[in-house]
């Protein structure tokens, strides 16, 4: 079920009222009220923040880097690991000293979807003015209006059957843009909090996605990254029979769009049809395929629904179809019950696949997840020792692969100027490269020769 952003009357009325207030501030001071958003977590949160920024600017707010100038500070939070949550609490604590004036503080995102977090905010941080969750963040205008009228609000929904369409967004990059294709997750990996913070899986209609992408391309976007917790299961529950490979086929037809990327994929749902779709003209040959562990025993305890052999088989098929594909992954070390031989299995899988890079994590216990109840005999030091061993091997491989790129030429989409005269973009495989360039290169595909490799980065020159 979907709802158009403009159909939520109460929200629209709040937008108008807040806009009037900020307009009167603007006419007195010559500048609108300022907002600052601090985003933690993954691309989902980044993109939600892009949407909240657009809502605020619609209401006359202006962005500031400087928290001390802001009349509104929003923290868009992440609950994936304990460390992420601790950082947020630290941040909210620091904001107390800024609270004196008329500052409004809002906390939203994945963390507040958990009851124990709401209780802690109410008890320990009473100066927070508004708390709202991942299913109703687009109603920020309603909560902001209340806060401006001196009323606090806590509004968190467990889930929502609705997808909101036609929300505006102010994207970090015009050239390479995030596009959500689905929300939520139904996989319930035993360590993961996301199914509880983002609700059940819901796919957007293909026509809504295509409309959004066409609109972006008209404004100069050349690359899109399709977002979802498990994009491979896109389309389940939609009336029209359309799956992820079919969606890619349709997006591939859009003129002036150069590249299509996506994240994340679950290995259990990586089909032969998707491998075939990877050969489409605009598909970037790059694949983020989180393995989590190389041990079938641990994968079973994680409820990942594939074995080490299934995973390696899919990697083999991907490489057969696209020999130069970039492969990246996520790895968790120290899952409860992990034995040394399981760690060895993860290390040998890393060697066998030869990843281009990986996000690596030490297992973090998350309240409310099944694994939180598993017996965990490993102490902190042992987990760190194991993590360092795994990372040592991974880095060896990643660094060697990176150095082997010296002298190679890649087609790079030029995305941004990072310092005067130095530009940056990605190769089809997703490797970031920096090189001297000019404004005319922005948004263009350029052949770049790698002239210098560092351990984890690449520098080059445009071939003329
Ligand atoms: N939906 C994506 C990833 C979501 S979270 C997928 O399934 O691939 C990103 C990564 O965080 C996960 O892939 C996992 O490696 C890590 N992660 C999630 N929960 C964790 C936990 N409790 N402890 C440590 N790492 C975790
Ligand atoms: Fe979490 Fe697993 Fe869903 Fe990824 S697929 S978001 S790891 S439950
Ligand atoms: Fe964190 Fe929520 Fe993303 S928990 S990783 S911000 S979906």
Per-residue pLDDT reduced to its tens digit, 104-163: 999 999 999 999 999 999 999 999 999 999 999 999 999 999 999 999 999 999 999 889
With b for 16 or more beta-carbon neighbours within 10 A and e for fewer, the 49-73 pattern comes to bbbbbebbeebbbbebeeeeebbbb
How remote is the CA of residue 275 from the centroid of ligand 1, in Å?
23
374 in ligand 1 pocket by Cβ < 6 Å?
no
- Residue 161: the pLDDT is 87
Those residues of the chain that have pLDDT short of 70 are 101
The residue behind tokens 């904001």 is 95
- Which pLDDT score is estimated for 155? 95
Q: Quick check: CB of 361 below 6 Å from ligand 1?
A: yes
Helix-strand-coil percent breakdown of the chain, rounded to 5?
40, 25, 35
We find that the CATH architecture of domain 409-462 is Beta Barrel (2.40)
Whether the CB-CB separation of 343 and 389 falls below 8 Å is answered with yes
Q: Separation of 393 CA from ligand 1 center, angstroms?
A: 21
Q: What's the confidence (pLDDT) of residue 76? A: 98
The answer to whether the 2-155 and 171-280 domains have the same CATH topology is no
pTM: 0.95
The whole-number pLDDT of residue 1 equals: 83
440-445 contacts: CB < 8 A, separation 24 or more?
441/414, 442/175, 442/414, 442/415, 442/416, 442/417, 443/174, 443/175, 443/220, 443/222, 443/413, 443/414, 444/413, 444/414, 445/258, 445/411, 445/412, 445/413, 445/414
CA 313 – CA 331 distance, rounded (Å) = 18
What's the pLDDT score for residue 87? 93
pLDDT at position 31: 87
Q: Which atom of ligand 3 is nearest to the CA of 134?
A: 2
Classify the phi-psi angles of 303: left when phi > 0, otherwise alpha if psi is within -120 to 50, otherwise beta.
left
| Vertex 109 angle, CA 105 and 113, to 5° | 110
For residue 45 and ligand 3, the question of a CB distance below 6 A is answered with yes
Break the chain into its structural domains and give their ranges. 2-155, 171-280, 285-403, 409-462
**What is the best residue among 192, 230, 380 to mutate for testing ligand 1's pocket, by most ligand atoms within 8 Å of CB?**
192
For residue 352, the CA-to-ligand 1 centroid distance in Å is 22
Classify 171-280 by CATH class.
alpha beta
Cα→Cα distances 281→11, 54, 157, 258, Å: 41, 33, 41, 9
What is the per-residue pLDDT across 405-435, written as a single tens digit (0 to 9) for each? Answer: 999 999 999 999 999 999 999 999 999 999 9
Where does 2-155 sit in CATH, by number? 3.40.50.280
CA 364 / ligand 2 centre spacing (Å): 14
CATH code reported for the domain at 285-403: 3.30.750.200
Task: Say if residues 46 and 78 touch (Cβ distance below 8 Å).
Answer: no
194 lines ligand 3 (CB under 6 A): yes
- Ligand 3 atom closest to the Cα of residue 198 is 7
CA of 80 to the centre of ligand 1 (A): 7
Looking from the CA of residue 78, the nearest atom of ligand 3 is 1
* Ligand 1: residue whose CA is nearest its atom 2: 229
Output the pLDDT for position 200: 95
For a mutational test of ligand 1's pocket, the pick from 41, 46, 80, i.e. the residue with the most ligand atoms closer than 8 A to its C-beta, is 80
């Amino acid at each position: 079920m979907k709802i158009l952003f403009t159909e939520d009357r109460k929200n629209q009325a709040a937008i108008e009222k807040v806009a009037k207030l900020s307009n009167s501030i603007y006419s007195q001071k010559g500048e609108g009220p300022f907002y600052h958003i601090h985003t933690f977590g993954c691309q989902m949160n980044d993109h939600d923040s892009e949407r909240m920024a657009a809502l605020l600017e619609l209401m006359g707010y202006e962005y500031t880097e400087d928290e001390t100038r802001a009349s509104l500070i929003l923290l868009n939070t992440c609950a994936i690991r304990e460390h992420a949550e601790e950082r947020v609490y630290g941040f909210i604590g620091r904001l107390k000293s800024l609270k004196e004036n008329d500052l409004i503080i809002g906390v939203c995102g994945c963390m507040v979807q958990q009851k124990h977090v709401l209780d802690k905010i109410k008890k320990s941080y009473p100066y927070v003015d508004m708390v709202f969750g991942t299913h109703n963040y687009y109603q920020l205008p309603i909560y902001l209006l209340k806060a401006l009228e001196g009323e606090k609000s806590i509004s968190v929904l467990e889930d929502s059957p609705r997808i909101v369409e036609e929300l505006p967004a102010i994207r970090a990059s015009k050239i390479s843009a995030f596009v959500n294709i689905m929300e939520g997750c139904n996989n319930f990996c035993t360590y993961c909090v996301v199914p509880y913070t983002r609700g059940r899986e819901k796919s957007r209609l293909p026509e809504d996605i295509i409309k959004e992408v066409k609109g972006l391309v008209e404004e100069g976007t050349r690359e899109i990254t399709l977002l979802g917790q498990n994009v491979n299961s896109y389309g389940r529950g939609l009336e029209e029979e359309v799956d992820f490979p079919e969606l890619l086929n349709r997006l591939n037809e859009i003129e002036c769009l150069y590249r299509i990327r996506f994240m994340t994929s679950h290995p259990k749902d990586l089909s032969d049809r998707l491998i075939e779709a990877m050969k489409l003209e605009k598909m970037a040959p790059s694949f983020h395929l989180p393995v989590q562990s190389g041990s079938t025993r641990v994968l079973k305890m994680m409820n990942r629904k594939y074995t080490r052999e299934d995973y390696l088989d899919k990697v083999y098929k991907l490489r057969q179809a696209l020999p130069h594909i970039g492969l990246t992954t996520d790895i968790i070390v120290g899952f409860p019950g992990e034995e040394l031989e399981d760690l060895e299995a993860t290390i040998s899988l890393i060697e066998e696949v030869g990843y281009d890079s990986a996000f690596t994590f030490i297992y973090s216990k998350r309240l409310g997840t099944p694994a939180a109840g598993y017996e965990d005999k490993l102490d902190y030091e042992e987990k760190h020792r194991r993590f360092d061993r795994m990372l040592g091997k991974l880095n060896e491989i990643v660094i060697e692969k990176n150095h082997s790129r010296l002298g190679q030429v890649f087609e790079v989409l030029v995305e941004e100027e990072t310092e005067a005269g130095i530009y940056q973009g990605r190769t089809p495989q997703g490797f970031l490269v920096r090189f001297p360039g000019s404004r005319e290169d922005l948004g263009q595909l350029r052949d770049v020769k790698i002239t210098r490799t560092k351990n984890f980065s690449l520098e080059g020159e445009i071939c003329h």
